[in-house]
């Protein structure tokens, strides 16, 4: 065989391998998204604990888990909402599902107090699945120096300390029986090169992503599956809309997709249109992303400030009625 023929054959083999790699990836993605059977979650334990369970994804997740036959420990800060969700689940599933409630506001308690509440609430229950879903974001976008101290503390306690201490409280029981699943609902914003004017929120979610990946390595040898999910926009109060669409699913639609991934990959984007959306968005250069995101949130901030003035009955003639800087002192353009 002559040298040109050898070179041509080698180039063909390399080209074939390069072509096969994305095709194999596509086949694996289709299998995971649409064909792979979900795990039997009751094998982890008969109870699931869900934080942030009175609204949005957490509430939808609670109903979805109940439909799989799991009893529930619902964690939330509003007792009336917790009671309403608990009653609705009992009405729908009858005696097949038990429901307990833990009333706690993560923004107002220390880590040790949170751990004590959770430990007391799950005593005597076989918690096999933990859903860390609770989250707190800004009322509207703002520069880092504009975040007041109370909001700063609340965002950090809810998004970082709350999930950390709940996880710490549930882990011993999972270690004892050598099985369990911990699902941390993170945010697609963590996947972006930057997320300005919502800095504390996305930084807290980045902490959760690293926590998930790290404790997964620590505990997978003990039969505990730790997974971090990255939803993009879901129609909840967090994004100030209840109108769902193809790329912005309802909490119920997202939860059905989410549960199919429990116990498999340790990092995932579970809703397939979000995954397609993310793959397309990754083609954009980081510099363009940074420019677009900053301009978008500057607009969000401007609208938020105007609405804050209107809500508090402030006009530009007498802007110091409330503790919001006057509009003419803010960079709104």
Nearest to 132 by CA among 81, 175, 75: 75
Residues 285 and 315: their CA atoms lie apart, in Å, by 41
CB 227 within 8 A of CB 182: yes
Report the run of H or E that residue 88 belongs to, with start and end. helix 79-93
Residues 215 and 195: their CA atoms lie apart, in Å, by 25
Residues 197 and 145: their CA atoms lie apart, in Å, by 10
* Cβ-Cβ contacts under 8 Å for 156 (sequence gap 6 or more): 200, 204
Catalytic residue among 44, 201, 219, 271: 201
Residues 59 and 82: their CA atoms lie apart, in Å, by 10
CB 106 within 8 A of CB 77: yes
* CB atoms near residue 186 (< 10 Å): 27
Burial class (CB in 10 A: 0-12, 13-18, 19+), 187: buried
The tokens describing 223, both together, are: 């039969």
Nearest to 224 by CA among 4, 27, 43: 43
- Residue 201 a catalytic site member: yes
CB 109 within 8 A of CB 117: yes
CA 228 to chain centre: 8
Strand partners, 181: 129, 225
Task: Tell me the CA distances in angstroms from 113 to 22, 110, 119, 130, 323, one per residue in order.
Answer: 49, 5, 10, 19, 32
Strand partners, 100: 73
**Positions marked catalytic:** 201
């Amino acid at each position: 065989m002559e040298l040109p023929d050898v070179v041509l054959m080698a180039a063909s083999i390399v080209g074939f391998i390069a072509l096969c790699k994305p095709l194999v990836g596509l086949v694996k993605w289709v299998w995971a998204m649409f064909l792979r059977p979900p795990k039997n979650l009751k094998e982890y334990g008969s109870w699931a604990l869900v934080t942030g369970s009175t609204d949005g994804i957490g509430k939808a997740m609670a109903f979805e888990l109940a439909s799989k036959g799991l009893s529930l420990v619902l964690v939330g800060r509003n007792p009336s909402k917790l009671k309403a969700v608990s009653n609705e689940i009992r009405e729908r599933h009858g005696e097949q599902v038990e429901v307990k409630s833990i009333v706690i506001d993560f923004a107002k308690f220390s880590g040790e107090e949170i751990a004590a509440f959770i430990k007391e609430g799950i005593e005597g229950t076989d918690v096999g699945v933990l859903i860390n879903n609770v989250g707190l974001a800004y009322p509207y976008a703002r520069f880092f120096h504009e975040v007041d101290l109370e909001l700063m503390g609340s965002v950090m306690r809810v998004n970082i300390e709350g999930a950390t201490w709940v996880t710490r409280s549930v882990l011993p029981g999972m270690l004892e029986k050598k099985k369990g699943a911990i699902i941390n609902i993170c945010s697609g914003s963590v996947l972006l090169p930057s997320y300005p004017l919502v800095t504390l929120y996305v930084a807290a979610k980045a902490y959760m992503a690293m926590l998930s990946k790290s404790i997964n390595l620590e505990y997978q040898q003990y039969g505990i599956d730790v997974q971090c999910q990255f939803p993009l926009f879901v129609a909840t109060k967090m994004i100030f809309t209840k109108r769902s669409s193809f790329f912005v699913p309802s909490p119920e639609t997202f939860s059905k997709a989410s549960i199919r991934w429990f116990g498999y990959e340790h990092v995932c984007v579970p809703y397939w249109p979000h995954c397609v959306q993310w793959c397309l968005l990754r083609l954009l250069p980081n510099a363009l992303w940074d420019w677009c995101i900053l301009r978008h949130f500057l607009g969000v901030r401007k609208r938020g400030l105007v609405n804050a003035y209107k809500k508090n009955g402030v006009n530009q003639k007498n802007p110091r009625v409330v503790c919001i800087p006057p509009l003419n002192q803010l960079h709104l353009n």
